[in-house]
Structure 1
Amino acid sequence: MEEDGMKRTALAPLVLIVSLFFLWGVANNLNDVLIKQFTKAFVLTDLQAGLIQFAFYLGYFLMALPAGLFMRRFGYKAAVVVGLSLYGLGALLFYPAAQIATYGMFLVALFVIASGLGFLETAANPLITVLGDSRKSEQRLNIAQSFNPPGAIAGLLIGKYWILSGIEHSEATLAGMPAAEKAAFYARETQAATGPYVALGLFVLAWAALVALTRFPAAATAQPRNEGEALPWSEALVGLARNKRLIFAVLAQFFYVGAQVGVWSFTIRYAQEATGMGERDAADWVIAALILFMIGRFIGSALMSRVNPARLMAMFALACLALAVVAAFAQGYAGLVALTGISFFMSIMFPTIFAIGVKDLGPYTQTGSSLIIMAIVGGALMPLAMGWVSTVYGSMHLAILVPAVCFGVILAFSLSNARAEEA
């Protein structure tokens, strides 16, 4: 009876925490729309637009270790409340950013949002595992992760219909506009994101209050106790520095997240360059990519019951590499279809790299996990590299060679581990 009561008590917290996977999917993929929107509103180069993802994923990188330390001191639930509070605050900062009409202020707001997401991602995954029967923890976590792609799609739909205006003026048209009309156009485009982000911020803060007021099982509110905490972080880092598989996993995750963020961030720009379509129609291709990503995750997970995960990821990485090369050099819709198809094969990479990296780490597991999460900073740097290539060479097509190199690293990591496991 006591166990049944615990499970009933855990149901409400489980629903609240599972929703987090949806919420950070919304925030992550709204950035793909913001890149296009701010390029128009602030007249940015592709390199300058890449700063959106740089500011965002820098927040993840800088907050991964502090979030882990906070969680060890105050527990999972407290870390979630802090994460949601930062997320909500960052979204509300879009209002003063729009009033000031300064690109840098928007970047600060995105950094604050990402700092909150760093707390959420560090805490939510292990928290799911303690909210209920431990024998079903893996099933709960997989169900929770399945809510991320719908959140990503929701973010893109919000961006498409409530941020992108569909109004795009050529340089010649803008040059011929009266100063007052041009200023009004830029002001409208700058403020377009304010409403959706303020509404999102208020909702997230309300969710934080709901989490704070909801009774959670003791395991979620107490300081986490597991074998990974028996070692000081400094000692764990020294030990992990000698683990070649983990170091390679951190490197592979860095390049994977960089490739994923880069591909999705510039799909709208690529689609417009390749076909001349409008920004709203181009946004549909990002939505299509996310649907393929979700399908690929289910199919890839099913195939893993028959194929070695590292070997399967090697095949998927090779497919991504080939499609990226096609996208870099093909013209028109052929290149766009290839670019969109990459998402199907990217689907299994993040969790597979993570699982391989922390496998058999024993007392080093928690610290190793934090290092792999820190590798998300690849999402800050690769879009900048793509923006630089596009700006210097005047071609978003050639910029796709940056994620092609990333997939080459993932292919090497996959083959290395497949051979080691099959030896």
Structure 2
Amino acid sequence: MSKPKQSYVGPLIIIGLLFFVFGFVTWVNGTLITFFKKAFNLDNTSSYLVTFAFFISYTVMAIPSSEVLKRTGFKRGMSLGLGIMAVGTLIFIPAAQIASYPLFLVGLFTIGIGLTLLQTASNPYATILGPRESAAQRISFLGIANKLAGIFSQRLFGGLLLAGGAATTPQEELQKVETPYLILTAVLVVLAGVIWFSKGLPEVSEEQEEVPSNAVKVTRNSVFSFPNLVLGVIALFCYVGVEVIAGDTIISYGVSLGFPESEASTFGTYTLWSMLAAYGLGIVLIPKYVSQVTCLRASAILGIVGTVIAVTTDGFTSVLFIAFLGFANALVWPAMWPLALDGLGKFTKIGSALLIMGISGGAVLPLIYGNIADSIHSTQQAYWVMMPLYLFILYYAFIGYKKRSW
């Protein structure tokens, strides 16, 4: 048993570095929502176009990303994804100079395209790299890297963008993004080169996936013949929606409750610290003490309970329970991937692409949240939108993942 562990530790550290990078650029969105809302005088719905532009790229590019990976392999696909992300971060510079919100959205969409390719490669890579029963443990390790980056980016960008005196014009306000995004562009370009020439990332094949002994013995001609995958895509859509709502709306929610921007800018880190705590538990408990399925079930139940308390309490208590949803959400992603990809064999890459499309929940559902908040004039009661989403995740955790035929 010790030999395979030794073989994937090095590559897992490199993948962890990549998760740190896209955690950094993903979790800054919560700060950008509040920043752009102020700079461009936006309503809730318009401000959540930040998450829409960022995450809708996963739907647009997931299948093309799968085709790209067939030609490049996992390793060079990751490097290409980093390069595309660098183009997106560079677009922020002219967007700031001409004070164009639509151009910022183009930059976010481009970053999302790069991340789509990167995630389509890196998530199944981590799943295939070692034993299936400990896949959630490995992805939990990657989640820690992702959320530490998010805490760092929210602290950094919250201090840069939301603290200090107000600028007199949007152009002056938006100049704050230029230097950090130039630095981020340079970092992404360097990492793209490092990954491209790295000798520490072996190429792996989806053929390494084992078809479980209890799989239905039928000829599979289509990826859609796997119910555990199709239902997993829907569940992942729901999950990413609640994760992004909990992580990216909390700053604006705090401001709407009357907290100062400088204080509310730290609220997003509460969500990420909660997720970090859950990932730590995942690494310790999975699979020795708790199964991946048990974690998924517990996560859905905690999400339901946390949502109810968040919308029925007041002030800082409500904010804390929105942050608590980070704890509830954390282990859904690592637990769901191995369950959804179970038994796909040669369909693993296309199955991964479909799961990546589920990330579009982060585009659509926060926008629905924002629209409801504007319509009923309550950022708190709009959080009820999360309840049916957690209920579907609960269904998948008890029933959906077991289905092997329609």
Interval of TM-score (by shorter of Structure 1 and Structure 2): 0.7 to 0.9
Cα distance in 2, alignment partners of residues 312 and 214 from structure 1? 35
Amino acid at match of 2:398: L
Would you say 1:226 and 2:207 are equivalent positions? yes
The residue identity in structure 2 corresponding to 1:64 is A
In the alignment, structure 1 residue 187 sits paired with structure 2 residue 168: no
Residues 81, 114 of structure 2: 8 Å contact kept: yes
Cα distance, 1:219 vs. partner? 2.9
Q: Distance in 1 between matches of 2:367 and 2:350?
A: 28
Instruction: Quote the residue 1:201 is aligned against.
Output: 185
1:287 aligned to 2:287? no
Offset at residue 157 of structure 1 (A) = 1.4
1:265 aligned partner: 248
**Structure 2 gap ranges (5+):** 210-218
Distance 1:314 1:370 in 2: 24
Is 1:22 aligned to residue 20 of structure 2? yes
Q: Partners of 1:267 and 1:98 in 2: how far apart?
A: 25
The one-character-per-residue Cα deviations of 1:211-250 (angstroms, maximum 9, x if unpaired) are 3344456637xxx57378xxxxxxx996332332222111
- Identify unmatched segments of 5+ residues in structure 1: 169-181, 229-235
Q: Which residue of 387, 391, 405 maps to 2:374?
A: 391
Decide whether aligned partners of structure 1 residues 137 and 408 sit closer, same or farther in structure 2, where only a CA change above 3 A counts.
closer
- Relative to structure 1, the CA distance from residue 289 to residue 408 in structure 2 (aligned partners, 3 Å threshold; closer, same or farther) is same
Distance in 2, Cα, partners of 1:277 & 1:285:
10
Corresponding residue of 1:330:
313
Aligned residues: CA RMSD: 3.1
What is the one-letter code of the residue matched to 1:383? P
The equivalent of 1:49 in structure 2 is 47
Q: Would the aligned equivalents of 1:130 and 1:137 in 2 still touch at CA under 8 Å?
A: no
The question of 1:411 aligning with 2:394 is answered yes
Q: Which residue of 2 aligns with 1:78?
A: 76
Q: How far off is 1:344 after superposition?
A: 0.9
**Equivalence for 1:97:** 95
Name the amino acid aligned to 2:379: M
- Does the Cα contact within 8 Å between 1:166 and 1:279 map onto a contact in 2? no
Identity %: 28
Mapped contact 2:75–2:201 kept (Cα < 8 A): no
Question: What letter corresponds to residue 226 of structure 1 in structure 2?
Answer: E
Q: Deviations over 1:241-279 (max 9, x none)?
A: 2332222111110000011011111101111223x2211
- CA displacement at 1:193 relative to structure 2: 1.8
Give, in angstroms, the shift of residue 203 of structure 1.
Answer: 1.4
**Residues of 2 paired with 1:152 and 1:341: CA distance?**
16
Choose which of 243, 250, 263 in structure 1 pairs with 2:226.
Answer: 243
Query: For residues 290 and 216 of structure 1, do their structure 2 counterparts lie closer, same or farther at Cα, with a shift above 3 Å needed?
Result: closer
**Amino acid in structure 1 at the alignment position of 2:395:** A
Map residues 273-312 of structure 1 onto 2, 5 A cutoff: 273-274=256-257, 276-304=258-286, 305-312=288-295
Counterparts in 2 of 1:129-140, with a 5 A limit?
none
Mark the CA change 1:237 to 1:31 in structure 2 (over 3 Å): closer, same or farther.
farther
Structure 1 residue 210, shift from structure 2 partner: 2.7
8 Å contact from structure 1 (residues 227, 363) kept in 2: no
8 Å contact kept, 2:296–2:332: yes
CA distance 1:152–1:191, change in 2 (3 Å): same
Q: Which moved more, 1:136-145 or 1:27-36?
A: 136-145
Q: Distance in 1 between matches of 2:402 and 2:67?
A: 36
* Partner Cα distance (1:312, 1:144) in 2: 17
1:374 pairs with one of 338, 357, 370:
357
What's 1:163 paired with? Answer: 161
The TM-score with structure 2 as length reference comes to 0.86
Give the aligned residue type for 2:187.
Answer: F
Paired with 2:402 and 2:60, the residues of 1 have a C-alpha distance of 34
Counterpart Cα distance in 2 of 1:97 and 1:418: 44
- The letter for the 2-side match of 1:337 is L
Report the residue type matching 1:39 in the other structure: K
How big is the shift at 1:310? Answer: 2.6
1:71-91 per-residue CA deviation (whole Å, 9 max, x = no partner) reads 111222321221111111111
Contact conserved, 1:237 with 1:367, CA < 8 A, in 2?
no
* Most deviating of 22-31 and 307-316: 307-316
User: What is the rounded CA distance, in whole Å, between the counterparts of 1:323 and 1:408 in structure 2?
Assistant: 13
SS in 1 for 2:120: helix
Structure 1 position 380, deviation (Å): 0.4
SS for the counterpart of 2:265 is helix
Contact 2:143 2:279 in 1 (8 A): no
